[in-house]
């Protein structure tokens, strides 16, 4: 490894998230400002293994801060999970003169970063996922935009749900976590939001809630189900059977991953991208950049990967009480 970083590689990996482009832009411009050459690696670890790599300059990241997706493309690379794949990727770094990597993605991508560090290629990771499920960080790039997209969709859904006196069960992404679903549920005024972190008894928590609120005049119902809990179609079928209320299932799906990033995501991505390069300049390697309160901080990658994120139970209680 070079004493001083001269060239960095930047890649996006795992599911894309709005704001990844803003992070690539910040990394590229901060590095070039400090005299560091930047190589863009396409399609995550695939690009590293296959040498799908080209230089970025200040203009190659122009006009992207407002664009969703990632100009570097992204992928899930199975070969990289093998030691052989990791050795190939490290060899490729040496071939291209890449002294360090900036990895933008989720915790799977960070595990890959740790493996690269073990192969002698230092890295800094930036949390980019709509799921907000990175334990060491209060916030992940893409979360705000995804929540706003979900809210916009569910507001539209409410119009038709209300007109028909129906129940709409909406499946929201989040992988194994309920952060996206819970916040969306509060913002949309969902009657019930079912998340993996809180056990749900369908009869008590959904059917009884619907019957009770019906007595107070409620005639249409929005139920949000985090994908980590189960399928919206199954919930809709059970609810219709148990309540007699006509129910429809809507899976928001990948629309939640698209769109122009919100101000929150653009600013978080810009701050995190800047911080990642600053760490490399200071010789602080194998770190995960994180947001804590108002601050951008960083953690050792191994420590970050062993941390657990807890659900905000106050928020769960607020959601329950104000939906009555
Ligand atoms: P995310 O980064 O969003 O959590 P994934 O879990 O799909 O997404 O991981 C993205 C990529 O990171 C994988 O396709 C793989 O190339 C790499 N990766 C994931 N887990 C590991 C691991 N345990 N070891 C090495 N690389 C990994
Ligand atoms: O991690 C982001 C995410 O969108 C999750 O919310 C979801 O479970 C998963 O990725 C979907 O992955 P894919 O794009 O492979 O369908």
CATH number at residue 69: 3.40.50.450
In a domain, 271, yes or no: yes
Q: Which ligand 1 atom lies nearest to the CA of residue 76? A: 14
Could you say which ligand is closest to the alpha carbon of residue 180? 2
Q: What is the pLDDT of residues 205-217, one digit of tens each?
A: 999 999 999 999 9
In a mutational test of the pocket of ligand 2, which residue from 70, 76, 175 has the highest number of ligand atoms less than 8 Å from its CB? 175
Given a contact cutoff of 8 angstroms between Cβ atoms, the answer to whether 170 and 223 are in contact is yes
pLDDT (mean) for 190-202: 98
Does residue 257 have its Cβ closer than 6 Å to ligand 2? yes
Decide if 100 contacts 280 (C-beta within 8 A): yes
- In this prediction, residue 2 has a pLDDT band, given cuts at 50, 70 and 90, of low
Instruction: Specify the ligand 2 atom closest to the Cα of 106.
Output: 1
Helical H segments across the chain, by residue range: 20-33, 45-50, 83-96, 107-118, 143-163, 179-188, 208-215, 232-243, 263-281, 301-306, 313-321
Full residue range of the structural domain in which residue 301 is found? 2-142+261-306
**Residue whose CA lies nearest to ligand 2 atom number 7:** 175
Residues 316, 148 contacting (CB under 8 angstroms): no
Distance from C-alpha of 320 to C-alpha of 276, rounded to nearest angstrom: 39
pTM for the predicted model, two decimal places: 0.97
**For the segment 234-279, what is each residue's pLDDT rounded down to a tens digit?**
999 999 999 999 999 999 999 999 999 999 999 999 999 999 999 9
Domain membership flag for residue 10: yes
Is 133 found in the same domain as 8?
A: yes
Q: How far apart are CA 90 and CA 300, in angstroms?
A: 20
Q: Which ligand is nearest to the CA of 128?
A: 1
Torsion of CA 204, 205, 208, 209, to 10 degrees: 160
CA distance 25 to 280: 16
Tokens of 137: 């960080």
- Size (the chain), residues: 324
Number of domains forming the structure of the chain: 2
Residue 227 belongs to a domain: yes
Pair (8, 125) in one structural domain: yes
In the listed set 223, 257, 291, which residue is the last one of a domain according to the structure? 257
The minimum-distance atom of ligand 1 relative to the CA of 106 is 2
Same domain, 125 and 270: yes
């Amino acid at each position: 490894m070079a004493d001083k970083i001269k060239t960095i590689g930047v890649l996006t990996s795992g599911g894309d998230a709005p704001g990844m482009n803003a992070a690539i832009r910040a990394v590229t411009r901060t590095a070039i400002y400090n005299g560091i050459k930047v190589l863009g690696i396409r399609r995550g670890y695939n690009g590293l293994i296959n040498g799908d790599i080209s230089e970025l300059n200040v203009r190659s990241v122009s006009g992207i801060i407002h664009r969703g997706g990632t100009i570097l493309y992204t992928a899930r690379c199975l070969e990289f999970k093998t030691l052989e794949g990791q050795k190939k990727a490290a060899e490729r770094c040496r071939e291209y003169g890449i002294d360090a990597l900036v990895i933008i993605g989720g915790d799977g991508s960070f595990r890959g970063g740790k493996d690269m560090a073990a192969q002698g290629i230092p890295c800094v990771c930036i949390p980019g996922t709509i799921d907000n499920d990175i334990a060491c960080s209060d916030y992940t790039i893409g979360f705000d935009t995804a929540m706003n997209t979900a809210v916009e969709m569910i507001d539209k859904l409410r119009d038709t749900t209300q007109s028909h006196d129906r129940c709409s069960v909406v499946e929201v992404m989040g992988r194994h976590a309920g952060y996206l679903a819970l916040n969306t549920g509060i913002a949309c005024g969902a009657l019930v939001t079912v998340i993996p972190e809180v056990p749900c008894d369908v009869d008590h928590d959904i059917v009884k809630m619907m019957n009770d609120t019906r007595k107070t005049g409620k005639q249409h119902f929005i139920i949000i189900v985090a994908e980590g809990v189960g399928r919206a179609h199954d919930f809709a079928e059970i609810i219709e059977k148990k309540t007699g209320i006509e129910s429809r299932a809507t899976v928001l799906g990948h629309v939640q991953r698209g769109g122009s990033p919100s101000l929150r995501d653009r600013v978080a991505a810009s701050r995190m991208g800047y911080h990642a390069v600053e760490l490399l300049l200071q010789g602080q390697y194998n770190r995960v950049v994180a947001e804590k309160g108002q601050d951008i901080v960083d953690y050792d990658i191994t420590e970050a990967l062993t941390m657990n994120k807890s659900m905000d139970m106050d928020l769960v209680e607020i959601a329950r009480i104000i939906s009555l």
